[in-house]
Amino acid sequence: MTAQLAPSITQVADQCFEELTTHIENQGQLTIEQMSKMSLLLGRNWQKALQVVDQNEVECYIGESSRRHIFQVRGKSGVYITFAKTYCSCQAHYYEVVCKSEAPYCKHQLAARLALALKRCPVTVVPDTAIAQFLLDS
Amino acid sequence: MSCSISLGQFVQQPSQQLAINALPHIQLTTPRCLLLGPQRSGKTSLLFQYAFQLACSGQEVVFMCDRAQLDQAPPLLPFGASQQHAAFSRIHFKYVSDLHQLRKYGACLHLLQQPPAAIIVDDVAHLLANTRLPDKRARDTEVTRALAYLADGLDQLREQRGLSVLLLASDTCSEEGPHNLYLLQRWFPLMLQVTGPPPHVAGRVLTLAVAQACKQSVPAAAARAAVNYTMTQSYLNVEHVQL
């Protein structure tokens, strides 16, 4: 018998994002119902993420051989390195996500996932060493 | 090649492995595990035991640690293993002195042509202590960033190249518990804890079990399982498996 735990908000958010991504691949756009669901689940970070995507502030870089990808998201204080599901170099990620666990993701992470799903961010193939340099320079 | 870390991989004898592996599997199949324990509780020796187990099965392992610390307190050999054992040639030591160097390794993981089967990081707390940073926020940020780069690099090796690289790390905690648990537990779904008497106690027996912070996420039987070790002058020996 395995332990049965209630899913965490992060797991629920991931599930909703997968459904959302599948829908976008099939239909090409979001529905109002999906927008409402994500807004209810993720709160103000979802609203802010939509603004970030609308302002075309997300860029994706992918290593040409390794296919390791990272996101760069422009913010108020500069450009943040973002791993869509696990990390962002912004302060909000540290305080809200890591320290206080108030949110599963910061707005930059949500914007990165959404922009990629909606094809609203340029995807640039770069040498693998460039990916390492991006990470080391951040 | 194993795709997850479990308590059974810390014992040598097949009968003991079978006993632990017969327990209900933990809910999480995770390639990442954290080993917690106070200072001088045998964590490095247990990490080395794990590395030796993998190396004996023909897999390459990268063992990341501070060289000065390793020279001061080298790990005990697994019981019955000689220093000339062929498996040791598959354990590759990579010396890092602080979290900056750990982060650099994580940033460059995707450049490896032949990644190892496992990466072992000895004592995150020690690497943090060696990292010169002005305040707690900066220290917490660096811990998060280093582990994020490492985890992301390993995740993308799995997603893009189908390679499952295990990550086993250790962290020194005080008697009250690990100080940075809230930072570490987001990267390590499985946490094991080493407990036992202080080093000066003769014939001391260490116990390796699922950490208290993790017990809710594993079945009760698995949460009760433990491995008892003794440490002689040169060897780490599995004495008993509690089920």
What is the secondary structure of B8-24 as a DSSP string?
GGG--SHHHHHHHHTSP
Do B27 and A86 lie within an 8 Å CB cutoff?
Answer: no
pLDDT at B22: 62
* Residue A108, pLDDT above cutoff 90: yes
Q: Where are the domains of chain B?
A: 30-172+179-202
How far is the C-alpha of B224 from the C-alpha of B218, rounded, in Å? 10
Do A2 and B25 lie within an 8 Å CB cutoff?
Answer: yes
- Establish if B200 touches chain A: CB-CB under 8 angstroms: no
Give the residue, A107 or B79, on which the prediction is more confident: A107
Helix (H, G, I), strand (E, B) or coil at B91: strand
- Establish if B113 touches chain A: CB-CB under 8 angstroms: no
Residue A49 confidence class, pLDDT cut points 50, 70, 90: very high
How far is the C-alpha of B198 from the C-alpha of B89, rounded, in Å? 32
- Establish if B110 touches chain A: CB-CB under 8 angstroms: yes
May I ask the CATH architecture of the domain B30-172+179-202?
3-Layer(aba) Sandwich (3.40)
Chain A residues inside the 8 Å CB shell of B106: 135
Interface of A with B in 42-81 (CB under 8 A): 63, 66-69
How far is the C-alpha of B232 from the C-alpha of B227, rounded, in Å? 16
Do B24 and A1 lie within an 8 Å CB cutoff?
Answer: yes
Give the residue, B227 or B107, on which the prediction is more confident: B107
Q: What is the 3-state secondary structure (H, E, C) of chain A?
A: CCCCCCCCHHHHHHHHHHHHHHHHHHHCCCCHHHHHHHHHHHCHHHHHHHHHHHCCCEEEEEECCCCCEEEEEEECCEEEEEECCCEECCHHHHHHHHHCCCCCCCHHHHHHHHHHHHCCCCEEEECHHHHHHHHHHC
Task: Give all strands of the β-sheet with B118-121 in edge-to-edge order.
Answer: B77-78, B235-242, B226-231, B205-210, B190-195, B32-37, B166-172, B118-121, B61-65, B91-95
**To probe the interface with A, which of B28, B101, B105, B108 has the most A CB atoms within 10 Å?**
B108
Q: How many CB pairs under 8 A join A and B?
A: 65
- Establish if B73 touches chain A: CB-CB under 8 angstroms: no
- Enter the pTM of the model: 0.90
Helix (H, G, I), strand (E, B) or coil at B231: strand
- Establish if B165 touches chain A: CB-CB under 8 angstroms: no
How far is the C-alpha of A20 from the C-alpha of B33, rounded, in Å? 31
Measured from the Cβ of residue B211, the count of other Cβ atoms closer than 10 Å reads: 24
b/e burial code for range B53-92 (CB count within 10 A of at least 16 → b): bbbbeebbbbbbbbeebbeeeebbbbbebeeeeebbebbe
pLDDT, tens only, B176-216:
666 678 888 889 988 888 888 877 777 778 888 888 777 77
Whether the Cβ atoms of residue B60 and residue B21 lie closer than 8 Å to each other? no
Whether the Cβ atoms of residue A128 and residue A32 lie closer than 8 Å to each other? no
Give the position of tokens 């260490």: B206
**To probe the interface with B, which of A60, A98, A99, A109 has the most B CB atoms within 10 Å?**
A98
Length of chain B: 243
Chain B residues inside the 8 Å CB shell of A136: 104, 107
pLDDT at B1: 47
Do A2 and B152 lie within an 8 Å CB cutoff?
Answer: no
pLDDT, tens only, A34-44:
888 889 889 89
* Ranges A13-17, A79-83, B90-94, B123-127: which has the least confidence: A13-17
